[in-house]
Amino acid sequence: AALPAPDIAGLDEVLRTAVTQGAPGALARIDDNGTTYQVTRGVADLSTGQDISADDRFRVGSVTKSFSAVVLLQLADEHRVDLDAPVNRYLPKLLPDDSITVRHVLGHRSGLYDYTDDMFTQSVSGFEVVRNKVFTYQQLVALALKKPRTNAPGAAYSYSNTNFVVAGLLIEKLTGHSVKTEYENRIINPLELRDTLYVHPDTRIPGRYAHGYLTPDTAGEELVDATDQTVSWAQSAGAVISSAKDLNTFFSALLGGKLLSEARLAEMERFTRVDSTSSYGLGLRRRDLSCGISVYGHTGSVQGYYTYAFATEDGRRAVTAVANTSNNEGVLRVMAGVLESAFCGKE
Ligand SMILES: CC1(C)S[C@@H]2[C@H](NC(=O)CCCC[C@H](NC(=O)C[NH3+])C(=O)[O-])C(=O)N2[C@H]1C(=O)[O-]
C-alpha cells in the first residue's frame, strides 16, 4: 500500500516542542522517492545564535553501529567471516567464553557488560574525564571484562557498546585496515557520502556543523558545549560524523539492497523484540509505528546529539532527525514523534 504523505506541519511541531523541552536546535530531512523535505528549529550555536541548518554535520553516536555491522556483513558475503563462529576464532583469547559468536555481538546478545554504564554515571564529570582521552579497543574491552556478564551468550538481548568495540576489533583483524578505511572503501566512497567522516581521534568536526550541548544531571545548570571530543570511548560503536542527507542515503541504500546480498540483509533483519514498539537485528533497529508501518534504522545518543535515522523496508522513504542536546529524556521522547510524522502522515 502507498505510504501516507509526510506530515510536514506535524514534523515542524515535533521539532518546535523539542526546542521548548530544552534542545537549542533541531533538524529533520525526509527523502521520499526523489522529493526532499527539510525542517529546522532553533540554533546550531548558542554563543553566536547561528540558526541550525538541515545541512549541518553532527555526531551520529550509535548510528555508527549500522556502519560497523554493514562492514562485517559484507565480509560475511565475501566468506571472510562466519557469523556463527566464536569471536575468539578470529581474536584468540579476547573474550572469556569461546561460545560468544560474531552474531551474538552484532545482535547485543553476547552478555558483555557495557563499560559506559560506569563511565557516564555522572553525565558531565564522566564526559569531562574522557572527552580528550584516546583509548585502544583493548582498553575498552578490558573495562567491560572487569564486570560480570549480563547473560549467557545468546540467551537474551542486552544492549552494550562493548559489542561494537569488539566489532571494530574484528573488522581491523579480518581486513588489516582501520575501521576508517573500511567505512570509506565500502560505504562512504561508493555512496558518495560527502558529509560523512571518521576522524577519530581528532576532536573537531570539519566544515559546517551544529554544536552539541550536554544537559547536566542537575536541573537548571548551564548546558555544556560537548561538540569537541575524541569519542574514543566509542569509536566503532559511536564515532561517525555525518549529515541528515548522508544518513538518508545510507539507510535507503542499505534497505534498497545496494550494500548487502539479500541473504545477509535478511540476517541483519532477523529481529529480537526489545519492547512493545522496537526490536533489534544485527546493528539495525526496527520501530513499529502506530499506523502499522515498520521502519528500519538506528538511533544515536552521544554527548550533545540525539539522532533518529530510519527508512521504509524498501528504502524509498528515509528520515533523519537530530536535536543538538542529550541527557534530556523529554527531548529524546518528543523526537521519536518525527517517525510518526514522516511515515504515518497526518493523524
Ligand atoms: C542505547 C542508547 C540510548 S545508549 C548508546 C550509545 N550512547 C552511549 O552509550 C552514550 C551514553 C552516555 C550519553 C550521555 N548520557 C549520560 O551521561 C547519562 N548519565 C548523554 O546523554 O549525553 C548510543 O548512541 N546508543 C543509544 C542508542 O542506540 O539509541
- For ligand 1, the distance from its centroid to the CA atom of residue 128, given in whole angstroms, is 15
Residue ID of nearest Cα to ligand 1 atom 17: 123
Q: What is the pLDDT along the chain (347 residues), one digit of tens a residue?
A: 689 999 999 999 999 999 999 999 999 999 999 999 999 999 999 999 999 999 999 999 999 999 999 999 999 999 999 999 999 999 999 999 999 999 999 999 999 999 999 999 999 999 999 999 999 999 999 999 999 999 999 999 999 999 999 999 999 999 999 999 999 999 999 999 999 999 999 999 999 999 999 999 999 999 999 999 999 999 999 999 999 999 999 999 999 999 999 999 999 999 999 999 999 999 999 999 999 999 999 999 999 999 999 999 999 999 999 999 999 999 999 999 999 999 999 97
CA-65 nearest atom, ligand 1: 28
Determine contact, residues 83/103, Cβ cutoff 8 Å.
yes
Determine contact, residues 278/308, Cβ cutoff 8 Å.
no
Strands 325-326 and 213-214: parallel
Which cell is 55 given?
A: 545541512
How far apart CA 199 and CA 228 sit, in angstroms, is 12
How far apart CA 105 and CA 71 sit, in angstroms, is 14
Residue 54's CB is within 10 A of a number of other CB atoms, namely 18
pTM over 0.80: yes
Q: Which residues pair with 325 in a beta bridge?
A: 213
How far apart CA 342 and CA 137 sit, in angstroms, is 37
Give the residue from 260, 265, 282, 295 showing the smallest Cα distance to 190.
260
CA-307 nearest atom, ligand 1: 29
CA-300 nearest atom, ligand 1: 24
Residue ID of nearest Cα to ligand 1 atom 22: 303
CA-327 nearest atom, ligand 1: 21
Strands 25-32 and 305-311: unpaired
- For ligand 1, the distance from its centroid to the CA atom of residue 120, given in whole angstroms, is 9
* Mutation pick for ligand 1 pocket among 58, 62, 218 (CB with most ligand atoms within 8 Å): 62
> What ipTM does this complex have?
0.99
Give the residue from 138, 102, 147, 107 showing the smallest Cα distance to 286.
107
Query: Three-state SS for 4?
Result: coil
Write out the catalytic residue numbers: 62
How many CA atoms within 13 Å lie on the side-chain side of 226?
32
Give the residue from 33, 41, 24, 35 showing the smallest Cα distance to 338.
41
- For ligand 1, the distance from its centroid to the CA atom of residue 64, given in whole angstroms, is 12
Residue ID of nearest Cα to ligand 1 atom 3: 301
Which residues, judged by CB distance below 6 Å to any ligand atom, belong to the binding site of ligand 1? 61-62, 116, 120, 123, 126, 159, 161, 214, 238, 299-303, 326-327
- For ligand 1, the distance from its centroid to the CA atom of residue 193, given in whole angstroms, is 25
Burial 241-252 (b: 16+ CB within 10 A, else e): bbbbbbbbbbbb
- For ligand 1, the distance from its centroid to the CA atom of residue 55, given in whole angstroms, is 24
- For ligand 1, the distance from its centroid to the CA atom of residue 262, given in whole angstroms, is 31
Q: What is the pLDDT of residue 347?
A: 79
Residue ID of nearest Cα to ligand 1 atom 19: 123
Cell 530531512 locates to: 29
Q: Which residues pair with 40 in a beta bridge?
A: 27
Residue range 118-142, pLDDT digits in tens: 999 999 999 999 999 999 999 999 9
What percent of the chain is modeled with pLDDT above 70?
100
